[in-house]
């Protein structure tokens, strides 16, 4: 399939927007391969529509696009952080996949896994907001993309 220079730039822009600034080279390569495969198998009448509207790609076949953050917060057990995380996520395009609390001695660890596949704003701003939320509750937080831990 032959694509014009403008269409190639458009595809690159869509991939960058979808994966965000924390995307690895492997993630970009895999998504580009998927786009090319879909464009190659699309009929000429719908090929442009696939490029122009990436949301038409079914989520089930694009597990590669699933993006997860792992939030790990540790602090003195004062309670309430998990509820604040749930409330924050409920107001956004995020999805809380799981949250657990562990108490050891007088320390509490809150571990949350957050899906940000549909999140369109700056991911670094999101990490900052989550970190600030944790600090307001007396916790120190580390927020990483799941790929940092070797998990997709």
Residues 17 and 73 in one domain: no
Residues 122 and 106 in one domain: yes
Whole-number pLDDT of residue 37: 66
- The answer on pLDDT for 42 being more than 70 is no
- Confidence grade of residue 91 (pLDDT, cut at 50, 70, 90): very high
Percent of the chain with pLDDT strictly greater than 90: 38
Domain span at 118: 68-149
User: Which one of 42, 64, 86 terminates a domain?
Assistant: 64
Residue 28 makes CB contacts below 8 A (sequence gap 6+) with 15, 16, 19
- Confidence grade of residue 148 (pLDDT, cut at 50, 70, 90): confident
Residues 9 and 24 in one domain: yes
Q: Is the pTM of this model over 0.85?
A: no
Beta pairing class for 139-145 and 68-76: antiparallel
Whole-number pLDDT of residue 44: 53
Mean pLDDT rounded to a whole number for the chain? 77
CA distance linking residue 75 with residue 86, whole number of Å: 18
User: Which one of 16, 36, 64 terminates a domain?
Assistant: 64
User: Which one of 64, 80, 108 terminates a domain?
Assistant: 64
3-state SS record for 70-111? EEEEEEECCCCHHHHHHHHHHCCCCEEEEEEEEEECCEEEEE
pLDDT digits (tens, 9 = 90+) for 49-62: 444 434 333 343 34
pLDDT digits (tens, 9 = 90+) for 94-127: 999 999 999 988 899 999 999 998 888 889 999 9
From the list 126, 106, 137, the residue with the least C-alpha distance to 22 is: 126
CA distance linking residue 37 with residue 39, whole number of Å: 6
């Amino acid at each position: 399939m032959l694509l014009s220079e403008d269409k190639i730039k458009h595809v690159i822009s869509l991939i960058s927007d979808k994966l965000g600034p924390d995307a690895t080279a492997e993630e970009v390569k895999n998504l580009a391969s998927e786009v090319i495969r879909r464009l190659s198998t699309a009929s000429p009448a719908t090929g442009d529509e696939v490029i122009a509207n990436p949301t038409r790609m079914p989520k089930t076949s694009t597990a590669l696009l699933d993006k997860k953050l792992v939030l790990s917060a540790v602090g003195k057990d004062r309670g309430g952080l998990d509820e604040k995380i749930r409330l924050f996520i409920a107001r956004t395009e995020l999805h809380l996949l799981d949250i657990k609390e562990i108490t050891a001695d007088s320390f509490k660890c809150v571990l949350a896994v957050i899906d940000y596949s549909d999140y369109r704003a700056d991911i670094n701003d999101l990490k900052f907001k989550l970190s600030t939320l944790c600090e307001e509750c007396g916790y120190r937080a580390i927020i990483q993309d799941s790929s940092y831990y070797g998990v997709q």
